[in-house]
Amino acid sequence: MVSPVTILAAPHRLLFLVGAVQLVAMLCWWLAVLAGLYFGTAAPAGGDIPAALLHAPLIIYLALPPLFLGFLLTVFPRWMGYPDLGKTAYAPVGLGYAVATLAAWAALATGDDELLAAAIISALLAALWGGAALLRVALCERTDGKDPTWHGWSILAALSAGVIGQTAFLFFLVDPAGALALPLSNRLGLWAFLLPVFVTVCHRMVPFFAGNVVAEYERWRPYWVLAAYWGATALLVAALQFELAILVTGGALILAALTGLMAFKWWPRNEAPALLWVLIISFVWAPIGYALTALSSIGLQLGRAPEHALTIGFASSLIVAMVTRVTQGHSGRPLELPMVGRIGFIGIQFAAVARIMAAIKGEDGPWLVISAVIFVLAIAPWASRNAAIYLLPRKDGKAG
């Protein structure tokens, strides 16, 4: 029997468990939808809102946030030199996303759009609770007269954009006929919420990780890069919202250049362990995705290739890298990439390439299904192994 003491012993446990299960479940649901659409197999019952419109916001607001919030609620206080958060700060976040997960499964299985709205409300409340916990730490830093931890404020800015985007998605679920809510939700969710969270975490953590394991490594992470990234992100989001193609191109090119510079500066020049390489290779997808966005904005027919280079190639690869590192270290296991992590990471690279091929081929159905199959087969063993770890005490007998 799983002990509540164990599952709530650290911020990441319940959130990583919920996120891992939710991510696999969402991918399986989407695979079933695609297979039914293109091959006539049994598909989930749909509600009034087409599954194609739900796919992106459900991944952005339900599947991925528990995974990176589990990470943030663990590391955020440490970035600022404060003790770890207590259970009252992180347990409601995990429970909120757990309720959202169960409600979402029931809604997608039955086609109940009202129940899906309830799932989003639960996730939104969880996000607000978690964001408030992080904000309290950041405000303590200011009250104590410390210099601001800009990575923390960058995260809070991204979470704020996510709350606005998730609220817009909720409005869409209540009134699907509204023309503005869903595009706003998707734009904020991807460009101002999801991607800035991952870029900020990488800017903070990759040089730190690499400096500990690579000989003669330069820990390069100037703040001007982060500030410029946010400026270009604001430009891109505004340009997308008001359909200003030339500014979309400019913003995307700046973001491609900035993330390309980060990848170049962070690339290990000496021997490095696999757990670092997966972080670096994951990050390389960021300049690729932004460059594809720029090319798409000038008329190249790329379909949804830019978005999936960033969500599958960049974000999903980083999820495997970051979650594996926390899971290994905080369960008393060696900081190494296990076999299921290697399979998951390599599989995600193939899934990303297949999804880009589908987009280039005009959203080709067989390629879409191939990408989804690869993704599920790659990620399921990794998620299963991790889920079992979160339910057990640490191997070294320590707390957490």
Do 374 and 345 contact (CB within 8 A), yes or no? no
What is the number of other CB atoms lying within 10 angstroms of the CB of residue 251? 26
pLDDT of residue 329: 86
Of 323, 395, 394, which is closest to residue 7 (Cα–Cα)? 394
Which pLDDT belongs to residue 177?
85
The structure tokens listed for 231 are: 């400026």
- What pLDDT sits at residue 5? 80
Name the nearest CA neighbour of 173 among 291, 49, 355, 295: 49
DSSP string for residues in 162-191:
HHHHHHHHHHHHH-TT-SSHHHHHHHIIII
pLDDT at 2: 62
3-state DSSP helix/strand/coil percent for the chain, to nearest 5?
80, 0, 20
**What is d(CA 173, CA 260) in angstroms, rounded to the nearest whole number?**
37
Query: Given CA atoms 55, 232, 72, 134 in this order, what sign does their dihedral have?
Result: negative
Q: Which amino acid is at 50?
A: P
Distance CA 390, CA 16 (A): 8
Domains of the chain: 4-390 (1.20.210.10)
Provide the 10 A C-beta neighbour count for residue 139: 10
Contacts of 29 (CB under 8 A, 6+ apart): 44, 108
Segment 184-209, tens digit of pLDDT: 999 999 999 999 999 999 999 999 99
Place of tokens 């996510």: 162
3-class DSSP assignment, residue 263: helix
How far apart (Å, rounded) are the C-alpha atoms in residues 239 and 313?
24
Quick one: 371 exposed, middle or buried, by C-beta within 10 A (0-12, 13-18, 19+)?
A: buried
At 335 the pLDDT is: 86
Radius of gyration from C-alpha coordinates of the chain: 20
In 3D space, the residue among 59, 5, 10, 4 whose CA is nearest the CA of residue 331 turns out to be: 10
Looking at residue 317, its pLDDT comes to 96
Closest CA to 321 of 83, 67, 129: 67
**DSSP code, position 255:** H
Residues of the chain with pLDDT under 70: 1-2
Q: 114: closest CA among 104, 101, 123?
A: 104
Name the phi and psi angles at 236, rounded to 5. Answer: -65, -45
pLDDT of amino acid 1: 55
Give the tokens for residue 181.
Answer: 């809510």
CA 148 to chain centroid: 25
Question: What was the pLDDT predicted at 40?
Answer: 87
CB atoms within 10 A of CB 88: 9
Q: What is the pLDDT of residue 34?
A: 95
Which H or E run contains 328?
A: helix 317-329
Q: Could you please report the per-residue DSSP string of 16-74? A: HHHHHHHHHHHHHHHHHHHHHHHH--------SS-HHHHHHHHIIIIISHHHHHHHHHH
Helix (H) or strand (E) holding 377: helix 365-390
| 3-state SS assignment for residue 119 | helix
Reduce the DSSP state of residue 212 to 3 states and report it.
Answer: helix
For residues 400 and 7, give the distance between their C-alpha atoms in angstroms, rounded to a whole number: 9
